[in-house]
Amino acid sequence: MNANRRQILGLGGGILAALLAGRRLWAQDVVTISMKGTPRGENTWFEPNGLAVAVGTRVRFVNDDPGNSHTATTYHPDLYGRARRIPEAATPWDSKFLLPGQSFEVVLSAPGVYDYYCIPHELHGMAGRIVVGTEDDPGWEGAAADDDLPDAVLAHLPPVDAIIDAGAVISR
C-alpha cells in the first residue's frame, strides 16, 4: 500500500467555484487532520474534528495512531449505502484503511458542509465535520438532518456556526 494516497476530486469544479466566489485559486494550502488514538485503543478521534476551510482547499488525513488503522469516509449512498451528508455537487471520498504513518489527500471543491467518519470507529463516535466556504458561496449546502447517525457520532459533530467562528474545533 502506498505511503501516501492522493485523490484530487473535482478540480475543475473547484476552479469554477473559486472564481465565482472571488477567492484566491491558490488558497489550496494543505490542511492536516490527524487520526489519533490512545495507546490501548480506548479512545480514537479526528483532530481537529471540526474544521473551516476555503473552497478548493486540499485536506490531508494522516494516521498518527501507532496502534490502529483508520479511514476517513464521507457519508454518501455510493459508499456503503449511507445517507448523503456532503454537498450534492461534491464527489464522495473514502481513504480506505490507513496504517500508521499513511495519509490521504482530497481537494474540497464544492462549498458546504462535509461529514465523514472512520469505518471501524463510527460506533465509538470517531467522526468529523468540514465546513467549506460560507453560506455566501454559490451552491452552498448546509448540514444534513441529524438522522441515520449513531448517537456517538452526533455527539462529536460540532455545530457549523461553532466551526466557522473558531476555524477549528477539537473535542475528544
Q: Give residues in contact with other proteins (CB under 8 A).
A: 1, 37, 39-44, 66-69, 96-97, 99-100, 119-121, 123-124, 126
The residue type of 124 is H
Nearest distance from C-beta of residue 63 to other proteins, angstroms = 10
Q: CA angle, 76 as apex, 82 and 108 as ends, to 5°?
A: 150
Helix (H, G, I), strand (E, B) or coil at 128: strand
Q: How far apart are CA 163 and CA 140, in angstroms?
A: 16
For residues 61 and 140, which CB has a smaller minimum distance to other proteins in the complex? 61
C-alpha cell at 78: 455510493
For residues 25 and 123, which CB has a smaller minimum distance to other proteins in the complex? 123
For residues 17 and 72, which CB has a smaller minimum distance to other proteins in the complex? 72
Find cell 447517525 and name the residue: 149
Find cell 456517538 and name the residue: 152
Nearest distance from C-beta of residue 163 to other proteins, angstroms = 23
For residues 67 and 159, which CB has a smaller minimum distance to other proteins in the complex? 67
Nearest distance from C-beta of residue 164 to other proteins, angstroms = 29
What single string gives the DSSP state of each residue in 149-172?
Answer: S-HHHHTTS--HHHHHHHSEE---
Find cell 490531508 and name the residue: 60
Nearest distance from C-beta of residue 147 to other proteins, angstroms = 20
For residues 13 and 125, which CB has a smaller minimum distance to other proteins in the complex? 125
Nearest distance from C-beta of residue 75 to other proteins, angstroms = 16
